Amino acid sequence: MADETLHNPKLDEHPDSNTEKDPADWVSGGDPMTGAQASYLTTLAEEAKVDAPSADLSKADASIMIDELKKKVGH
Protein backbone atom coordinates (compact mmCIF):
# COMPACT_ATOMS: atom_id res chain seq x y z
CA MET A 1 0.00 0.00 0.00
CA ALA A 2 1.41 3.39 -1.01
CA ASP A 3 2.03 6.04 1.58
CA GLU A 4 -0.44 8.83 0.78
CA THR A 5 1.72 11.41 2.55
CA LEU A 6 4.53 11.19 -0.02
CA HIS A 7 5.55 14.55 -1.46
CA ASN A 8 4.37 15.20 -5.02
CA PRO A 9 6.51 17.96 -6.60
CA LYS A 10 3.93 18.44 -9.36
CA LEU A 11 1.60 19.88 -6.75
CA ASP A 12 4.08 22.48 -5.46
CA GLU A 13 2.85 26.03 -5.91
CA HIS A 14 6.33 27.19 -6.98
CA PRO A 15 8.32 24.17 -8.08
CA ASP A 16 12.09 24.43 -8.29
CA SER A 17 12.55 24.09 -12.00
CA ASN A 18 13.90 25.82 -15.04
CA THR A 19 10.48 26.61 -16.51
CA GLU A 20 11.12 30.32 -16.03
CA LYS A 21 14.60 31.42 -17.02
CA ASP A 22 15.96 34.88 -17.49
CA PRO A 23 16.16 35.42 -21.28
CA ALA A 24 19.81 36.39 -20.82
CA ASP A 25 20.45 32.80 -19.68
CA TRP A 26 18.75 31.10 -22.63
CA VAL A 27 21.02 28.85 -24.67
CA SER A 28 19.22 29.94 -27.85
CA GLY A 29 18.69 33.53 -26.69
CA GLY A 30 20.98 34.89 -29.38
CA ASP A 31 19.05 33.19 -32.18
CA PRO A 32 16.73 35.33 -34.30
CA MET A 33 13.28 35.87 -32.83
CA THR A 34 10.61 33.43 -33.91
CA GLY A 35 7.79 34.26 -36.26
CA ALA A 36 5.36 34.03 -33.36
CA GLN A 37 7.40 36.52 -31.35
CA ALA A 38 7.56 38.92 -34.30
CA SER A 39 3.81 38.71 -34.83
CA TYR A 40 3.02 39.22 -31.15
CA LEU A 41 5.45 42.12 -30.90
CA THR A 42 3.80 43.81 -33.88
CA THR A 43 0.39 43.43 -32.25
CA LEU A 44 1.61 44.71 -28.89
CA ALA A 45 3.43 47.64 -30.53
CA GLU A 46 0.23 48.65 -32.31
CA GLU A 47 -1.73 48.47 -29.04
CA ALA A 48 0.97 50.46 -27.22
CA LYS A 49 1.15 52.97 -30.08
CA VAL A 50 4.90 52.56 -30.47
CA ASP A 51 7.03 51.78 -33.51
CA ALA A 52 7.24 48.15 -34.53
CA PRO A 53 10.41 46.47 -33.29
CA SER A 54 13.41 45.82 -35.46
CA ALA A 55 13.16 42.59 -37.46
CA ASP A 56 16.64 41.55 -36.35
CA LEU A 57 15.89 41.13 -32.65
CA SER A 58 17.16 38.03 -30.88
CA LYS A 59 14.80 35.62 -29.13
CA ALA A 60 15.94 36.93 -25.76
CA ASP A 61 15.53 40.60 -26.71
CA ALA A 62 12.12 39.89 -28.24
CA SER A 63 11.01 38.16 -25.05
CA ILE A 64 12.13 41.10 -22.94
CA MET A 65 10.36 43.55 -25.24
CA ILE A 66 7.18 41.44 -25.15
CA ASP A 67 7.20 41.56 -21.35
CA GLU A 68 7.72 45.33 -21.36
CA LEU A 69 4.97 45.98 -23.90
CA LYS A 70 2.56 43.66 -22.09
CA LYS A 71 3.04 45.73 -18.94
CA LYS A 72 2.57 48.95 -20.89
CA VAL A 73 -0.73 47.87 -22.44
CA GLY A 74 -1.98 46.14 -19.30
CA HIS A 75 -1.85 42.48 -20.32
The Cα 68–Cα 75 span in angstroms is 10
The Cα 30–Cα 23 span in angstroms is 9
Q: How many CA atoms lie within 13 A of 3 on its CB side?
A: 4
Write down the mean pLDDT value for the chain: 81
More confident residue, 48 or 27: 48
pLDDT band at residue 32 using 50, 70 and 90 as cut-offs: very high
Q: How many CA atoms lie within 13 A of 13 on its CB side?
A: 0
pLDDT band at residue 43 using 50, 70 and 90 as cut-offs: very high
pLDDT value of position 13: 66
